Structure 1
Amino acid sequence: MHDVLMVEDSELWDIVLDGPFVPMIEKKDGEKTRLVPKPRQKYDEADKKKIEKCYKPKTLLVCGTGPDEFNCVSAYKSAKEILDCLKTAHERTEQVKESMIDMLTSLYENFKMRKGETIHEMFINLSSITNELRSLGEPISMSMQVRKVHEILPKS
């Protein structure tokens, strides 16, 4: 996520982390002066451009999600809220991914050719495991796969 925004514009990442730009004006309250949000009708061209730029990170994050995530993130008002939601969802997804990798690695390590199974069938079953590992970011090199096939082939 961060990389997408950084490529687009480093200011966008600042907007995500710091929140959107809100034009402010000084308002005297007796002897004290405080900053308050500027009324829309008093926005100048620079204010309008900064505000427009604030919509971009949210748009990029929302448009970069799949249909399942879209429903979750589209209700949030700020890019920071969207990013936090996606991080939380992704952390859970990462835990599931790690569990899948562990299970598939165990299947790969304990893989054996079944009785009555042809070499072709055995290779398809082994390829299924290695392809799933690859899709999870844990590729098994071709040399390791060849070594595994040599280990499990019957001596005949």
Structure 2
Amino acid sequence: MAAPPMYQEGASLTRPPFFNGKYYGWWKNRMMEFIIAENYDLWDVVMDGPTIPTKLGADGTVVPKGRLELTPEDKIALQNNAKAKNILICGLGPDEYNRISSCSNAKEIWDTLQSAHERHMSPMKKCNVDYWKRKYELFRMKDGETIQEMHSRFTSIIGEMDSLGESLPSGKAVRKFFSVLPNSWESKVEARDLDFEEENMKLMARIFRKC
């Protein structure tokens, strides 16, 4: 997924990634990893919905348990519900919070954000796909651009295509990047076997470290 340009914030083990209404695909992946790292049970809550402790009522129907009827396991389930919701809320700016303020649980929040930032793009999806494919095909190094800036632009384009369902094999992306490097970089690139994607990614990393 494409990351915001000039993104400088470091990763945090205690603070959820922040979403300000742009680069949803990037935020979505980071938030998923953050929640899973916190507790995989929380991710189940986001995907499957909250666990509500229940019991059989006097008439034989299933009803929620009262507060004094909760077992330790019930309390853990309720705590997971609250924690998953709180993590998502803490990762949203004011505009996005207003969008989900009426949601009662983490799954509703997640689904609402997906609906707003992914599914509603479908009428314009083909146009967006064509736009980013064109950006990819015409990609070149700009005058005065550093190799790091060039790489950042390139990965942003790849990320946008991926978010629209147009994923590229990493080997193909590496070959494309190498093919548009200026002549002054040819001596630094020794990609003799471009079929080995992992080796090429390592090679690319070595190139950037030399910049």
TM-score by length of 1: 0.61
Q: Which has the higher strand share?
A: 1
Q: Show the counterpart of 2:136.
A: 105
Match of 1:69, SS?
A: helix
- Give, in whole Å, the separation in 2 of the partners of 1:59 and 1:47: 18
Deviation of residue 126 (structure 1)?
10
The 5 A counterparts of 1:1-150 are 1-29=31-59, 33-91=60-118, 92=121, 95=125, 98-108=129-139, 123-124=143-144, 131-137=152-158, 141=177, 144-146=180-182
Higher helix share: 1
Q: What CA distance in whole angstroms lies between the structure 2 residues aligned with 1:25 and 1:146?
A: 69
**Structure 1, gaps ≥5 residues long:** 112-121, 148-156
Task: Indicate conservation of the 8 Å contact 1:27/1:35, yes or no.
Answer: yes
* 1:36 Cα deviation after fit: 1.1
Q: Which has the higher contact order (CA 8 A, sep 6+)?
A: 2
Q: CA RMSD in A?
A: 3.8
Structure 2 residue runs of 5 or longer lacking an equivalent are 1-30, 160-172, 184-211
State the shift of 1:54 in Å: 0.9
Of all paired residues, the percent bearing the same amino acid is 30
Q: Which amino acid aligns with 2:155?
A: R
CA contact (8 A) 1:101 1:136 kept: yes
**1:112-143 deviation digits (Å, cap 9, x = unpaired):** xxxxxxxxxx6148988875443334676365
Partner of 1:154: none
Larger radius of gyration: 1
Amino acid in the other structure paired with 1:88: S
Specify the code of the residue in structure 2 equivalent to 1:85: T
Separation in 1, partners of 2:88, 2:130: 27
Partner of 1:61, secondary structure, is helix
Instruction: Name the residue aligned to 1:118.
Output: none
User: Between Structure 1 and Structure 2, how many residues are aligned?
Assistant: 135
Counterpart of 1:136, as a letter, is I
* Residue identity matched to 1:135: S
What TM-score do the two structures reach when normalised by structure 2? 0.48
Give secondary structure in 2 for the equivalent of 1:12. Answer: helix
SS at match of 1:50: helix
Within 1, Cα distance between the matches of 2:50 and 2:144?
A: 52
Q: How far apart are 1:35 and its partner, in Å?
A: 1.9
Change (3 A) 1:24 1:66: same
The 2-side partners of 1:26 and 1:88 are apart by 35
